[in-house]
Amino acid sequence: MDERLLSDNIAKLLERVRLSAEKSQRVTGDILVLAVSKNHPAEAIRTACQFGLGAFGESYLQEALTKMSQLGDLPISWHFIGPIQSNKTRAIAEHFDWVHSVDRGKIARRLSDHRPATMAPLNICLQVNISAEESKSGVSIAELPLLAREVLALPRLRLRGLMTIPAPSQDPVQQRAAFARLRLALGQIQALAPGIDTLSMGMSDDLEAAIAEGATILRVGTGIFGSRNR
């Protein structure tokens, strides 16, 4: 991707974040832009780093590992945001700083078992199925407290908060309603333990609504790197 275009996209995005934060009387520094780099090459990540981004989200393990090996010289924080199969938990636990897509106890236990003792505990967000769509992954609101307790008991994980991918909607009112449900769910699990501080919600098309409802991590792909040609 053209460097000029990438730097323009990043500048525009950061301005959107700044304006939305201001509207909601929030501090821009409390909102992390996670650049979702799936389907984009290592060189695009390197360039985005030069323009100030430091956290990158990947959905496909093999693709991510290849890029990590090419970017080992950069101080990147790596976030896994895709569906997790059991046979991928070891590599995820060994290579990532955060996992946003934990939605069952079995996966959480395996990530904890495989997290090397030499590394800091793995930061975890529980993925919540906020729109209650049958096809979507994510734990239901009803089952969330049980899963949260299970993760809190695992020694090599650090429960940080919740993540959601709501049903797509162009309506800002509906967008906000879904994000508000995640914010309320966070309040419930915050009562279980200290240090739970993260709402991973909002993507390229709905980040204003997410910021208004308290997002602390925005996951932005298209708005930074352009469309993904697969």
Residue numbers of the site for ligand PLP (CB under 6 A)? 36, 38, 59, 81, 165, 203-204, 219-223
| Nearest partner of 64 among 34, 103, 36, 87, judged by Cα | 36
CA distance 59 to 79: 9
- Closest approach, Cβ 99 to ligand PLP, in A, equals 11
Nearest residue to ligand PLP by CB is: 221
Q: Which is nearer to ligand PLP, 47 or 146 (CB)?
A: 47
Displacement of CA 104 from its chain's centroid (Å) = 17
Q: Which is nearer to ligand PLP, 81 or 151 (CB)?
A: 81
Q: Are 52 and 77 in contact (CB under 8 A)?
A: no
- Closest approach, Cβ 205 to ligand PLP, in A, equals 6
Residue 29 CB coordination number (10 Å):
7
Q: Which is nearer to ligand PLP, 148 or 225 (CB)?
A: 225
- Closest approach, Cβ 227 to ligand PLP, in A, equals 8
Q: Are 176 and 213 in contact (CB under 8 A)?
A: yes
- Closest approach, Cβ 81 to ligand PLP, in A, equals 4
